[in-house]
A and B are shown apart, each in its own frame.
Chain A
């Protein structure tokens, strides 16, 4: 595997379910990100991890819980979601240096029923 991978690619869940999204980067980067992409809205940054430490939580509801066990893996744990949480969730990684570009995974398309 190369680049940034995400699983699953598609997920349908009920509002009472608990599920997790997984992201893995194979680029040797040390920063990872979760974004939410909804139709006709700008990309919304959710969480930032630098060297496994969470450095940004962009006022995200507690029903989204990130986990970063190491610099290559990032999880987003989901519980009691709402239909408006349906979106494409993108993971990205970058090297923690000035001006570094972010590299994105293919995303997980989430539908909350």
Chain B
């Protein structure tokens, strides 16, 4: 069974600085998808970024980028120029690339990110 591990329950970063959130996963599959979700205090879970395992290029979305290391099964999220609005719980998630019927997305326990003004 696949697992997703986020080893940092909480992190803090100074506003305008860069922070990296760690995520590792375990799978025997070669094709899959990885996601980072953000859940601000208002509780709406928002998709931040998506990575396809067969693509070597790291996904980026504005100030958010990932460092995808397939061999190491590592998928970290880098937030550049941190802003107060980035304060949230961040979840790393894994989804198999099997047929769509296998709909499970497996989530890590999350990392709470604090932004210090």
Binding site for B on A (CB under 8 A): 31, 33, 40-43, 45, 48, 50, 55-56, 88, 90, 92, 94, 96-107, 109
Q: Which residues of chain A come closer than 8 Å to B45, judged between CB atoms? A: 90, 92, 104
Tell which of A33, A42, A92, A101 touches B109, judged by Cβ atoms closer than 8 Å: A42
Q: Which of B13-37 contact A (CB under 8 A)?
A: 33, 35, 37
Q: Which residues of chain A come closer than 8 Å to B35, judged between CB atoms? A: 101
Contact A55 B50 (CB under 8 A): no
Extra contacts besides A40-B109, A42-B108, A102-B47 (13): CB < 8 Å: A42-B107, A42-B109, A42-B110, A43-B91, A45-B105, A55-B101, A99-B33, A99-B50, A99-B95, A100-B95, A100-B100, A103-B47, A104-B37
Q: Which residues of chain A come closer than 8 Å to B101, judged between CB atoms? A: 50, 55
Label chain B's interface by main secondary structure.
Answer: loop
Contact B109 A106 (CB under 8 A): no
Binding site for A on B (CB under 8 A): 33, 35, 37, 42-47, 50, 52, 91, 95, 97-101, 103-105, 107-110
Tell which of A41, A98, A100 touches B99, judged by Cβ atoms closer than 8 Å: A98
Contact A106 B104 (CB under 8 A): no
Contact B43 A106 (CB under 8 A): yes
Q: Which residues of chain A come closer than 8 Å to B104, judged between CB atoms? A: 45, 48, 56
Q: Contacts A43-B91, A101-B35 hold; do A106 and B44 have CB atoms under 8 A apart?
A: yes
List the B residue with the shortest CB-CB distance to A108. Answer: B43
Tell which of A43, A50, A90 touches B103, judged by Cβ atoms closer than 8 Å: A50
Q: Which residues of chain B come closer than 8 Å to A99, judged between CB atoms? A: 33, 50, 52, 95, 97
Q: Which residues of chain A come closer than 8 Å to B99, judged between CB atoms? A: 98
Question: Which 10 A-B pairs give the minimum distances between C-beta atoms?
Answer: A104-B45, A99-B33, A43-B107, A106-B44, A96-B100, A107-B43, A101-B47, A48-B103, A42-B109, A42-B107
Q: Which residues of chain A come closer than 8 Å to B100, judged between CB atoms? A: 31, 50, 96-98, 100
